Structure 1
């Protein structure tokens, strides 16, 4: 038996490469797309079988699980070495960058929807709460962004002092804060409300306006400004 099973060993009508040529990449299933990128399987297992196991037999929810795999976790799976683990990790990063690039032209800091769309793929797959600080100049143009805190699954701890040190160093005139809810539900918690109030009040004292606090869920968001909280 060969050490690995390749696509060429499959019947021609089952080969994703040929199907892609005939019908286009959009005709391929998630498993077939991943198999094309993996190219080879492992001992006694085709690339299609390996792709199916990665997507559906790992306790994840199909293709979205790719965003949650670290290289180390991938390498613990049977049949996945360092090269394949890096390939899959790069697929995840490429998907995030493509999503951001597609929303970049529409990004407007007076429109919370465009901000949420732009950062959605960065944040919605995080397993812990991650808070971002977006710093703007007098023309409401982005002059810097940074991750302020990464908390537990249930809470993100942030102090106004830490946040405004970053903003003052960039000479920011206004800021937007944003964080994710790993549960997928962007409904603000009591802690979210209190944190926003502290940052709003501190900004007013030093002359840096808090334009919005956006909470990212799973393909959804809540804007404090849209909700009338700010």
Structure 2
């Protein structure tokens, strides 16, 4: 593979530089040598980083040989010193570990009762209203639990978009929302009911099911699903 490059990176048009291309088009749009150039960061005197990245790929022939190269073998490429070699080995190892990583599950929800009991233990006695979301996969396994905001549901921050933004970020298939009533009385208010209906409508539009909205009191909880609200 032969690609013509300028002697200095500042001679390359901004829109053609690897970092800018990744920022605008995403990492999948970049070639191997562009991704490698971002990791290398700088070239050498008279050779820009794109040319250095190409030299490395040509030297090793393919990504597998680059992956298995030792620091000493990396340093055999002109322009690759000790620091660059160490940084590359660290980046390669981290990439391998990430590729082998699996999503951590923190329990499975089998019923509204189980979800309510879990939230009751965590939220009873709180002096302010907290809104917590359980993000679930298709097997109802909890892939993330997050406090979205603190304050009453009448507050302007209590909006379904904050909840579903997290659902999209974590690739959740379903969600359970829980919040506490510091008064200790878990009976839903009109604001609770309206908020639940808005969440349910948003979930239908986005294809992310609202399984339940659970209100936690001092010693008991109410499932809005079980009373027919969602």
TM-score, scaled to structure 2: 0.51
TM-aligned CA deviation for residue 120 of structure 1: 1.5
1:164 is aligned to 164
Deviations 1:41-71 (A, max 9, x none): xxxxxxxxxxxxxxxxxxxxxxxxxxxxxxx
Whether 1:131 aligns to 2:151 is: no
Whether 1:204 aligns to 2:204 is: yes
Structure 1 portions without partners, runs of 5+: 1-104
What does 1:1-230 correspond to in 2, within 5 Å? 109-152=109-152, 155=154, 157-230=157-230
SS in 2 for 1:212: strand
Whole-angstrom distance in 1 between the partners of 2:184 and 2:191: 17
Q: CA RMSD in A?
A: 1.9
Is the CA contact 2:124–2:180 (under 8 Å) kept in the aligned structure 1? yes
TM-aligned CA deviation for residue 227 of structure 1: 1.1
Whole-angstrom distance in 2 between the partners of 1:112 and 1:149: 22
Whole-angstrom distance in 1 between the partners of 2:128 and 2:190: 18
Is the CA contact 2:135–2:170 (under 8 Å) kept in the aligned structure 1? yes
Structure 2 portions without partners, runs of 5+: 1-105
Change (3 A) 1:228 1:110: farther
Structure ID, larger Rg: 2
Whole-angstrom distance in 2 between the partners of 1:203 and 1:119: 21
Is the CA contact 1:180–1:215 (under 8 Å) kept in the aligned structure 2? yes
TM-aligned CA deviation for residue 155 of structure 1: 4.8
TM-score, scaled to structure 1: 0.51
Change (3 A) 1:108 1:144: closer
